[in-house]
């Protein structure tokens, strides 16, 4: 069976499974829609959390970034993994003991203020929409290759799928769907990695293959070979980095703090029965996540070697079918700058623009002509970083069923996180904005209806962000983490560990963090993208890392304002003491 039909089969079966689970676990109450009734087993919740956490950025884009950037790409591994540990140890158990539906719920009650709740709702919506745009683009990329359509059409198809099981099942349906999606995505990620590790190094375990010698009898280590290949072609060595130390630090810190402040991950810990279960499920989730995260650097190194060995200096007319199909999607482009009909892959950008936009004509050798002007660099090949994991099995000439499996895994990763984010948006609107603020008299049935309407609306807006993203998938996700680090993380930390923190400080801190970070990102990504370089960045900090500075401003402003305004009421200080004491259930708080 050919790749196309196998892909249809694998993806169709996985979608049938997800939709079947959504129908079986349909939410019938707000409690089930928001937190799955608070009855999810820790192992199940750990797998669901891992799927929720490992988005399209983890599955599709992280290995691509490491493949192209080398050591610099490790900032995503360090930031995301370290941030999850921070969340599991410092925040999750306390938030679960507080026993509320959402992060704005915690902020509103802890800071005894509807205004603080509203600011938190705004922060959650900003963060979630920024994050979900990366997921929808990931869905579009997979569908564009799967159905051989453009990315916009792929995003629309993904919107329809997410709409069905997120709006119908709520958190209950999403939880059990995400368990299935984790199984699909991790199997799809590991199988080709194992195949390619055996082919290149003879090692079954990819992590060992990364540090092993090449299986060609030369005795040369894989990373040494890769460094030699990249430097010969005018690129920087794979094991060396170009980013400044301060920017690497700020990006990694933003990813760590942003992880701990991501609302769709935090809410997962509200779905287990007890505080102890929140800790246990966090441990399981870390193990499940580590399986993919420790494999990603190996996948990146293998892919970079295979690109150089199998594509560089290839006669374009002899290129395999997969190359032409990725060209059709606009995610690979070749410009024959020297007229020799060969694909020359070397250092520098092939195009002046970021993403090719094809016009209906072909060049001398049959290549697609692009609207973007060719850059002055010698490099003739453009490869979108987000396709490395999807294209690698074809590049390495693996069996067709492996190629189809990876497509199903990429969709599972993108859809699982998209569904979790859309649920967070819907609950923030229906519960925090309407039920707790604007329309306190609505019934549970009405609240559930509003939640579904909000989720449906969010799907449409997320689709637009997926069609017109402000960057590649992992970069867009990094912006979301920066916003989370600058807004929610400091206020949650201070709310748990600093009794003196009051509503005035919380509102001021969140507002300053949000406005500063969003304005900085918007300026360099939308208003003046041509100035987005180290010469113009504040202190040399890129938009990806500015969330760390926003977080510092949040902490400082919140602390200073709280010291010059009245302390919180005694009941609030007693509540803070109570949630920090192990072994006692929360009093008077329902889930």
The two structure tokens encoding residue 207: 């992590």
With a cut of 70, say whether residue 543 has pLDDT above it.
Answer: yes
With a cut of 50, say whether residue 490 has pLDDT above it.
Answer: yes
The two structure tokens encoding residue 579: 């949630």
String of DSSP letters for 199-230: HHHS-SSHHHHHTSB-TTTT--BHHHHHHHHH
d(C-alpha 487, C-alpha 500), whole Å: 19
With a cut of 50, say whether residue 545 has pLDDT above it.
Answer: yes
Residue 358 has a pLDDT of 58
Q: Which of 178-182, 430-434, 576-580 has the lowest mean pLDDT?
A: 430-434
In the chain, what are the helix, strand and coil shares in percent, each to the nearest 5? 70, 5, 25
With a cut of 60, say whether residue 584 has pLDDT above it.
Answer: no
Beta bridge partners of 374: 351
The two structure tokens encoding residue 267: 């809410």
With a cut of 80, say whether residue 364 has pLDDT above it.
Answer: no
With a cut of 50, say whether residue 589 has pLDDT above it.
Answer: no
Residue 174 has a pLDDT of 76
The two structure tokens encoding residue 583: 């072994």
Collect all residues with Cβ–Cβ distance below 8 Å to 376 and sequence separation of at least 6.
none
The two structure tokens encoding residue 578: 């109570």
**Stretch 376-395: mean pLDDT, rounded?**
85
Q: Rounded to whole angstroms, what are the CA distances from 431 to 47, 266, 405, 427, 444?
A: 26, 16, 38, 5, 10
The CB density around residue 325, as the number of other CB atoms within 10 Å, is 18
Q: Are 502 and 111 in contact (CB under 8 A)?
A: yes
With a cut of 70, say whether residue 342 has pLDDT above it.
Answer: yes
Give pLDDT tens digits for 207-221. 999 999 998 888 899
The two structure tokens encoding residue 283: 């441990």
Q: Are 169 and 410 in contact (CB under 8 A)?
A: no
Residue 588 has a pLDDT of 37
Give pLDDT tens digits for 407-454. 888 877 777 777 777 777 777 788 777 887 778 888 878 877 887 788
- pLDDT-based confidence at residue 372 (cuts at 50, 70, 90): low
Between 274 and 490, name the one with better pLDDT. Answer: 490
Residue 90 has a pLDDT of 78
d(C-alpha 475, C-alpha 544), whole Å: 7
**Is residue 296 exposed (0-12), middle (13-18) or buried (19+ Cβ within 10 Å)?**
buried
Residue 447 has a pLDDT of 78
d(C-alpha 280, C-alpha 472), whole Å: 34
Tokens 């009941």 belong to residue: 571
**Stretch 16-37: mean pLDDT, rounded?**
69
**Stretch 522-550: mean pLDDT, rounded?**
85
**Is residue 361 exposed (0-12), middle (13-18) or buried (19+ Cβ within 10 Å)?**
exposed
With a cut of 90, say whether residue 563 has pLDDT above it.
Answer: yes
Beta bridge partners of 358: 370
Q: Are 456 and 163 in contact (CB under 8 A)?
A: yes
Give pLDDT tens digits for 235-276. 888 888 778 889 999 999 988 888 777 777 777 777 788 777
Percent of the chain past pLDDT 70, that is, above it, reads 87
With a cut of 50, say whether residue 586 has pLDDT above it.
Answer: no
d(C-alpha 408, C-alpha 390), whole Å: 10
**Stretch 577-583: mean pLDDT, rounded?**
72
With a cut of 70, say whether residue 35 has pLDDT above it.
Answer: no
Residue 146 has a pLDDT of 67
With a cut of 70, say whether residue 158 has pLDDT above it.
Answer: yes
**Stretch 289-313: mean pLDDT, rounded?**
91
Q: Which of 255-264, 549-558, 559-568 has the lowest mean pLDDT?
A: 255-264
β-pairing, 368-370 with 358-362? Answer: antiparallel
With a cut of 70, say whether residue 297 has pLDDT above it.
Answer: yes
With a cut of 60, say whether residue 587 has pLDDT above it.
Answer: no
Residue 181 has a pLDDT of 85
When mean pLDDT is compared over 282-296, 361-375, 377-391, the highest value belongs to 282-296
**Is residue 280 exposed (0-12), middle (13-18) or buried (19+ Cβ within 10 Å)?**
middle
The answer for 588, left when phi > 0, alpha when psi is -120 to 50, beta otherwise, is left
Long-range (24+ apart) CB contacts under 8 A made by 204-208 are 206/295, 206/298, 206/299, 206/302, 207/294, 207/295, 207/298
φ, ψ for residue 369 (rounded to 5)? -90, 140
With a cut of 60, say whether residue 470 has pLDDT above it.
Answer: no
Q: Rounded to whole angstroms, what are the CA distances from 531 to 355, 534, 539, 543?
A: 18, 9, 14, 12
Q: Which of 103-117, 158-172, 334-348, 354-368 has the lowest mean pLDDT?
A: 354-368
- pLDDT-based confidence at residue 591 (cuts at 50, 70, 90): very low
d(C-alpha 22, C-alpha 165), whole Å: 5
Mean pLDDT, the chain, whole residue set: 81
């Amino acid at each position: 069976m050919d790749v196309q039909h196998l892909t249809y089969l694998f993806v169709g079966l996985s979608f049938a499974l997800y939709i079947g689970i959504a129908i079986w676990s349909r939410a019938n109450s707000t409690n089930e829609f928001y937190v799955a009734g608070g009855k999810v087993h820790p192992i199940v919740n750990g797998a669901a959390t891992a799927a929720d956490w490992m988005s399209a950025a983890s599955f599709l884009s992280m290995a691509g970034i490491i493949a192209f950037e080398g050591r610099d790409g490790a900032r995503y591994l360090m930031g995301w993994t370290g941030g999850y540990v921070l969340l599991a140890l410092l925040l999750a158990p306390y938030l679960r003991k507080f026993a509320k539906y959402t992060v704005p719920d915690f902020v509103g009650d802890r800071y005894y203020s509807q205004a603080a709740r509203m600011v938190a709702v705004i922060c959650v919506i900003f963060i979630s929409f920024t994050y979900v745009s990366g997921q929808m683009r990931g869905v579009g990329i997979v569908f564009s290759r799967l159905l051989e359509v453009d990315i916009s059409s792929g995003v629309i198809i993904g919107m329809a799928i997410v709409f069905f099981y997120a709006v119908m099942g709520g958190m209950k349906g999403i939880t059990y769907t995400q368990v299935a999606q984790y199984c699909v995505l991790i199997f799809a990620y590991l199988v080709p990695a194992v195949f390619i590790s055996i082919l290149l190094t003879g090692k079954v375990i990819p992590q060992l293959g990364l540090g092993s010698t090449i299986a060609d009898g030369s005795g040369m280590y894989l990373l040494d070979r890769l460094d030699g290949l990249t430097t010969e072609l005018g690129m920087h060595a794979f094991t060396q980095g170009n980013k400044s130390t301060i920017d690497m630090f700020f990006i990694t810190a933003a990813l760590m703090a942003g992880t701990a402040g991501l609302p769709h991950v935090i809410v997962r810990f509200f779905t287990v029965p007890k505080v102890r279960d929140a800790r246990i499920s966090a441990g399981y989730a870390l193990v499940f996540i580590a399986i993919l995260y420790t494999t990603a650097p190996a996948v990146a190194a293998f892919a970079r070697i295979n690109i150089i060995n199998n594509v560089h200096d290839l006669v374009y007319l002899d290129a395999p079918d997969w190359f032409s199909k990725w060209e059709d999607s606009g995610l690979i482009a070749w410009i024959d700058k020297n007229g020799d009909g060969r694909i020359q892959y070397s250092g520098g950008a092939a195009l002046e623009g970021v993403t090719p936009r094809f016009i209906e004509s072909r060049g001398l050798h049959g290549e697609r002509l692009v609207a973007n002007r060719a850059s002055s660099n010698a490099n003739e090949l453009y490869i979108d970083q987000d396709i490395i994991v999807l294209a690698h099995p074809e590049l390495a000439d693996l069996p067709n069923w492996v190629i189809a499996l990876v497509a199903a895994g990429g969709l599972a990763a993108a859809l699982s996180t998209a569904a979790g984010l859309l649920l967070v948006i819907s609950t923030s609107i229906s519960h925090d904005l309407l039920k707790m603020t604007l329309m306190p008299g609505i019934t549970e049935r009405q609240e559930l209806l509003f939640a579904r309407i909000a989720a449906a609306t969010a799907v449409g807006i997320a689709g637009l962000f997926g069609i017109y993203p402000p960057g590649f998938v992992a970069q867009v996700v990094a912006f979301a983490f920066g916003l989370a680090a600058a807004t929610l993380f400091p206020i949650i930390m201070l709310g748990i560990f600093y009794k003196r923190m009051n509503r005035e400080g919380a509102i001021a801190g969140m507002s300053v963090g949000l406005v500063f970070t969003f304005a900085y990102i918007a300026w360099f990504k939308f208003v003046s993208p041509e100035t987005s370089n180290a010469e113009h960045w504040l202190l040399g900090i890129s938009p990806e890392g500015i969330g760390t500075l926003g977080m510092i401003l949040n902490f400082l402003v919140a602390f200073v304002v709280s010291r010059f305004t009245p302390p919180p009421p005694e009941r609030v200080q007693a509540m803070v003491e109570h949630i920090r004491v192990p072994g006692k259930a929360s009093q008077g708080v329902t889930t």
